[in-house]
Chain A
Amino acid sequence: MNIVVCVKQVPDTASERTLGADGTLDRASADGLINELDEYAIEEGLRIAEAHGGEVTILTMGPQKASESIRKALSMGADKAVHLLDDGLAGSDALATSYALSKVLAQTGFDLVICGSESTDARTGVLAAMLAERLGVAQLTLAGKVDIDGTAVTVRRMSDEGYAVVSAGLPAVVSVVEKINEPRYPSFKGIMAAKKKPVQTLSLADAGIDAGEVGLAGSATAVADFAARPPRAAGVIVKDEGDGGAKVAGFLAERKFI
C-alpha cells in the first residue's frame, strides 16, 4: 500500500510566536518542530504499513528548514520523503496549500493520505477535507481509530457527541486526532538509517504547480491588519488566609455569576 503522510513543520508552541510585516507567521525566528498532531499521523501510517505491507512517504511543504522535520519523520521509520520547496509558496493560505499538495499527490500517487487533524500554528483544521475534495476521494477525517480490510477503510470519526463509524473504499484521505496512538521515538538505528533515505525535492515547476495559484499573491484570503492583544488588566491576587473560598465567592457575586 502506498501511504503518504502530510507533515508540517511549525514553530514550537512553547515559544513566543509573532507575525511578520506581511501578516504571515514569522517562521525564521522560532524553533521549528514537527506539528505535534502530525506525529500521530506518521505513527498511524507506520502501523498500517507494518500490518498490511506497503511504503510510507512523508510529504512536506515548507522552507529549507523543514528538512529537519522530514529527517525526524524518516528516523521514526518512514521510507522516503518528498519536500515541496519553493520561495513562491511562502504565504500560501489553506486553499493554496491544498492545491499545491494535491498536485504533488497526483504525481506520487497514493492509496491512503494521512494528515494530523490540524496544525498547532494556523489551527484551521481544513486541509484534509480540502485534499479529499480536490483529489475526488473519500474523506475519513477526525479518526480516533483506523481499520483496513483489503481495500476498505473504516474509521471512528470522533465528535463532541461521541463517534460515528464511517467506511469507504481506497483511495482515501484520513486525518487522525490526538491520542489515536502513542507515537514512537526514533531509535538510534532509525536515526542512522534516516540519513540514507531518499528525499526528493520538488519546485513548483517540477510539480506542475501554477505559480499564480500559490503564495501570498495566489491565496484567496489576506490579513488586513493585526495587533498584539492588549495585555489583560492586572487582576487582584490574594493569599488564602482561611477565607480564600469566601473571597472568590465575593468576587463571583460582584460580577453577578452567583
Chain B
Amino acid sequence: MAEVLVLAEQAGGEVKKVTLELLTAAARLGEPAVVWTGPDADKAQQRLAEYGAARVYVADGAEFGDYVVAPKAELLARLVADKAPSAVLTASTAEGKEIAARLAVKTDSGVLTDAVDVTAGEDGAPVAEHANFGGAITTRARVTRGTPVIAVRPNAVTAAPAAQPGAAELVPVSFTASEAAKAAKVTERVTAEKGERPDLTEAQIVVSGGRGTGSADGFKIIEDLADALGAAVGASRAVTDAGWYPHAFQVGQTGKTVSPQLYVAVGISGAIQHRAGMQTSKTIVAVNKDAEAPIFEIADYGVVGDLFTVVPQLLDEIGKRSG
C-alpha cells in the first residue's frame, strides 16, 4: 500500500488536533506517514502511533522556523520524489495552504484546499469534498495530474484512534534547505496574548456576537457566555469594523470559516457574508431581537428577544446546571 504523507502541525512536541484528523483521513487513502519538521518528534511518537502513523519522517532543522513556508515545501517535494506517496495532506491553515501551494507547483500536481472531507474514490484516488460559497453548494473534486495535494480544514474530519495502532517508526531525514528557499527570513516573532480560550477554528463550541451587542462594553457578555460554555469567541464584521473586538476573531466571508459542533450567534442578523463563515456548523443557536433576521432561517434553535435579558438568564441556568 502506498504511503500518504501527513505534514504535522505541532508546538513543542504537542501535536495539534488537526494532525490527528489528517491521520484519520490519510488511513482511508493508504498507509499514513507523518512528516515532522523540527525537534521533539519523540514526544509525539506515541500519540501519532495511536492514530495510525506507520512512520514519522523527521527533519530537525532550524530553517523551518527561520524562513517562511518554502523550506517545508521543499522537504515535502523531496519526500514525494523519494517515497512516491499516493497523496500529501496538510492542514488548511494559512501556512498549510501555502505549503500545499508551493508543493503543487514544485511537483506539477493538482492542489485542493479547504477540503471538509477526504475519501477514496472507486479507483482509490482521493476525492475531496468542499463546502463552497459558505456551504450553499457541496462540490466533490479530484486531482487529475501529479501527486494529489490536499489541505483539509481543521475540525471537519473527526479524529479517531486507529483500530490497529501504527508503529510510528522515527525515520531521520537529512535535509538542508536550498538558498532559494531561504529568501524570506523571519527576524522576530510576536505572540499575541492568547488567554485560556480554544482556537476559533478548532473549537467545539463558538459563541459569536454581532451588532446587537451595541459596544465594546456590551460585547463582554459574549466573552462571559463563551467562558461558561468553554467556547471560543467569534464576532461579526459589524463588530470588528466598529473596533469592538479584534479583527482576528471575525467569522465570515473575509474572516475565519468555522464548523464547530455548536455555534451560538448572539445579536447577529446573519447576512450572507456572515453565514459564509459558519453555515456548516453542526448545530446553530441564535438570539436576536428581530424575528425577521435571516439567522433564524438556518438556526436549529432561536429565541426572538433582547440579548441583554436572554443571555444573563442563560448564564444563570448554565451556572445552576454545572453545580
- Residues of B in contact, count (CB < 8 Å): 96
For B141, give its contact among A120, A169, A223, A249 (CB under 8 Å): A223
Contact present for B184 and A245 (CB under 8 Å): no
A229 to B134, CA, bound (A): 10
Q: Which of A10-18, A64-72, A80-88, A188-196 contacts B (4 or more CB under 8 A)?
A: A10-18
A165 to B184, CA, bound (A): 10
Q: Give the residues in chain B near A128, CB-CB below 8 Å.
A: 98
Q: Give the residues in chain A near B192, CB-CB below 8 Å.
A: 161-163
Contact present for B184 and A138 (CB under 8 Å): yes
Q: What 0/1 readout, one digit per residue, does chain B (296-323) give for beta carbons within 8 Å of chain A?
A: 1011111111100111111111100110
A179 to B247, CA, bound (A): 8
Q: Does B20 contact A (CB under 8 A)?
A: no
A164 to B67, CA, bound (A): 10
Q: A125-B94, A161-B192, A164-B190 are in contact. List 9 more A-B contacts (CB 8 A).
A: A13-B253, A36-B254, A126-B100, A141-B68, A142-B94, A220-B108, A237-B302, A238-B303, A248-B310
Q: Give the residues in chain A near B112, CB-CB below 8 Å.
A: 221
Contact present for B137 and A247 (CB under 8 Å): no
Q: Does A52 contact B (CB under 8 A)?
A: no
Contact present for A17 and B133 (CB under 8 Å): yes
Q: Give the residues in chain B near A140, CB-CB below 8 Å.
A: 68, 184
**28 pairs, A vs B, C-beta closer than 8 Å:** A19-B137, A23-B141, A93-B110, A121-B133, A128-B98, A139-B183, A139-B184, A142-B94, A157-B186, A159-B95, A160-B93, A160-B201, A163-B192, A166-B187, A172-B184, A224-B140, A224-B141, A229-B136, A235-B296, A235-B298, A235-B302, A239-B304, A244-B303, A245-B309, A249-B313, A249-B318, A251-B301, A255-B262
Q: Report the interface size class on chain A.
A: 35 or more
Contact present for A221 and B111 (CB under 8 Å): yes
Contact present for B111 and A248 (CB under 8 Å): no
Contact present for B311 and A245 (CB under 8 Å): yes
Contact present for A245 and B312 (CB under 8 Å): yes
Q: Give the residues in chain B near A123, CB-CB below 8 Å.
A: 114, 257
Q: Give the residues in chain B near A243, CB-CB below 8 Å.
A: 313
Which A residues from 233 to 258 make CB contacts under 8 A with B?
A: 233, 235-240, 242-249, 251-253, 255, 257-258
Chain A residue nearest to B202 in the complex (CB) = A160
Chain B residue nearest to A177 in the complex (CB) = B247
Contact present for A130 and B101 (CB under 8 Å): yes
Q: Does A106 contact B (CB under 8 A)?
A: no
Which of A159, A165, A167, A245 has the most chain B CB within a 10 Å cutoff? A245
Q: Does B109 contact A (CB under 8 A)?
A: yes
Q: Does B269 contact A (CB under 8 A)?
A: no
Which of B68, B144, B296, B306 has the most chain A CB within a 10 Å cutoff? B68
Q: Does B199 contact A (CB under 8 A)?
A: yes
Top 7 closest A-B pairs, CB basis? Answer: A245-B313, A240-B305, A220-B110, A249-B317, A126-B101, A138-B183, A245-B314
Q: Which of B79-87, B210-218, B280-288 contacts A (4 or more CB under 8 A)?
A: B280-288
Q: Does A219 contact B (CB under 8 A)?
A: yes
Q: Does A98 contact B (CB under 8 A)?
A: yes
Contact present for B311 and A229 (CB under 8 Å): no
Contact present for B302 and A17 (CB under 8 Å): no
A251 to B317, CA, bound (A): 12
| A178-B247, A245-B311, A245-B316 known; A168+B185 contact, CB < 8 A | yes
Closest beta carbon of chain B to A61's beta carbon, Å: 17
A171 to B299, CA, bound (A): 49
A158 to B255, CA, bound (A): 13
A67 to B96, CA, bound (A): 33
Q: What 0/1 readout, one digit per residue, does chain A (112-151) give for beta carbons within 8 Å of chain B?
A: 0000000011011111111011101111111000000000
